[in-house]
Amino acid sequence: MKNVLLVHTGGTLGMAGRRPDALKPGSFFRTVRERVPELTKLARVEFHLFANVDSCELQPELWAELATLLYERLPRYDGAVVTHGTDTLAETACALSFMLKNLPRPVVLTGAQRPLKEIRSDARLNLIDAVTAALHGPKEVTVCFDSHLFRGNRVRKVSVSEYDAFDSPNHPTLGVLGVDTRFEKGLSRRGRFTLEAEVDPRVFLLRVFPGLDPAIPLAILPKVRGVVVEAYGAGNFPVSKALGRSLEPFFHEARRRGVPVVVVSQAQRNGVDLSLYESGNVARASGAISGGDMTVSAAVVKLMHGLARHRGDALRRYLERSVAGERG
């Protein structure tokens, strides 16, 4: 029988209590053994309690610790499952995909919309599917939810209360776990398994909206090392000087200060093309970097990871190429 490492970080899946009462962390591993005995028929599951917190408390420093744990222990197993709260599951999946290079085994993140102890919980099936994917799925960081397997750095949380909480608008699923299971090959290894756990969280996410005062992002520039701009459509933002709300001075000042700016789209499908419109050309002329079809989560986490390891042109090249399948 194969061996699977199950790492618990917290979140709804492992909580006890009934809504609308406040949910509190429960005795997760005992509950898993009681509620999902089928796991023992799939593999020898070894539990590890990494944390027991709401996912909003899983900060970049914990991403690095989690990646280090997986790097050290994964070679002894046939795969790993990480249980995680849904709110920042996408960010953790992105971080692990950049930090763990050339994975020799699958690493599958999953969670739940209802705690495992509740009636009609989706946690039980998500756990069974995640362990199945950890045994037979592609050797990369993935997210398993609602019987679908997604590339970890391509997912977005799209629902708060439905069980199909995640989607991957710009990349096909890597697996479907229905009556039969089907998995795609996934990424190919290009070298030995390595750990790159460094991260610099001094990044700001700027969402463009009508009425945005350019003085606000300008005031932020001295305090950050990188900015992700969530622009309209293909990378648009106001450049007209008529009402004093042009963001052109922000891009110029970012370049003067050496602060890299990555532009992504607010639209879920397709991506940024800075050559299409005037504002995009303004951004390009100021040295802005197109995020292509990366999700906002992927762009933010990749910039954090890149800033810790690269400078100047090397950072630009890192951001513009696909490192772990995060962009087309």
Q: Which of 54, 78, 87, 273 is catalytic?
A: 87
Q: Which of 132, 157, 293, 302 is catalytic?
A: 157
Q: Is 194 a catalytic residue?
A: no
List, as one string, the DSSP characters of 191-221. Answer: S--EE-------EEEEE--TT--THHHHHHG
Q: Which amino acid is at 164?
A: D
Contact indicator for 75, 193 with CB cutoff of 8 Å: yes
Contact indicator for 7, 109 with CB cutoff of 8 Å: no
Q: Which of 86, 88, 132, 295 is catalytic?
A: 86
Q: Which of 12, 83, 110, 295 is catalytic?
A: 12
Contact indicator for 221, 227 with CB cutoff of 8 Å: yes
Could you give the angle at the alpha carbon of 262 between the alpha carbons of 257 and 268, nearest 5°?
A: 155
Q: Is 87 a catalytic residue?
A: yes
Contact indicator for 71, 104 with CB cutoff of 8 Å: no
Contact indicator for 35, 135 with CB cutoff of 8 Å: no
Could you give the angle at the alpha carbon of 69 between the alpha carbons of 66 and 70, nearest 5°?
A: 90
Query: Chain centroid to CA 133: how far?
Result: 18
Rounded-to-integer distance, Cα 283 and Cα 289, Å: 8
Q: Is 86 a catalytic residue?
A: yes
Q: Is 173 a catalytic residue?
A: no
Residue 20: partners with Cβ closer than 8 Å, 6 or more residues away: none
Q: Residue ranges of the alpha helices (H) in the chain?
A: 28-35, 39-42, 60-73, 89-99, 123-136, 215-220, 248-257, 278-285, 296-307, 312-320
Residue 171: partners with Cβ closer than 8 Å, 6 or more residues away: 150, 151, 154, 325, 328
Residues with catalytic function: 12, 86-87, 157
